[in-house]
């Protein structure tokens, strides 16, 4: 955070995944310890995160202050919904494609409720 002018503060927008929350949480604490004003916003949905960052970026470009950016980011996060769907499982090169979730999608099937790393969501449906 020292590579750019942070006089107005820094808004950190993170997906609510354990590693991201831990890593960026440490970064925010370090920034605050270095007297950099920072606000934190996290959410669990991929598409909502993109909308949140786009809106916050547009507001920042128009000169909005950090509190306004944070309030809008939280408003977007609280009013956003996304639904992820997959027609095919992804797999690591060199691994058996059929080993993902010990099953595979059949012809004409779609999987709803998958997460960013393609693990099933709490509301996993086929």
Which residues, listed in sequence order, are joined to residue 112 by a DSSP beta bridge?
85, 125
Side-chain-facing half-sphere of 61: CA atoms under 13 Å: 6
Q: What order do you get walking across the sheet with 120-125 strand by strand? A: 85-86, 111-114, 120-125
Q: Say which of 89, 91, 117, 118 is annotated catalytic.
A: 117
Contact 87, 105 (CB under 8 A): yes
For residue 86, give the nearest of 119, 40, 43 by alpha carbon: 119
Instruction: Please indicate whether residue 117 is annotated as part of the active site.
Output: yes
Distance from C-alpha of 4 to C-alpha of 40, rounded to nearest angstrom: 18
**Catalytically annotated residues:** 117
């Amino acid at each position: 955070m020292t590579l750019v002018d942070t006089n107005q503060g820094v808004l950190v927008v993170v997906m609510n995944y354990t590693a991201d929350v831990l890593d960026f949480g440490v970064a925010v604490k370090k920034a605050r310890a270095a007297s950099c004003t920072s606000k934190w916003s996290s959410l669990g949905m991929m598409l909502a995160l993109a909308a949140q960052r786009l809106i916050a970026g547009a507001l920042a470009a128009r000169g909005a202050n950090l509190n306004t950016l944070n309030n809008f980011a939280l408003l977007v996060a609280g009013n956003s919904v996304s639904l992820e769907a997959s027609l095919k499982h992804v797999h690591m090169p060199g691994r058996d494609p059929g080993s993902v979730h010990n099953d595979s999608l059949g012809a004409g099937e779609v999987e709803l409720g998958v997460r960013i790393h393609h693990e099933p969501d709490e509301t996993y449906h086929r």
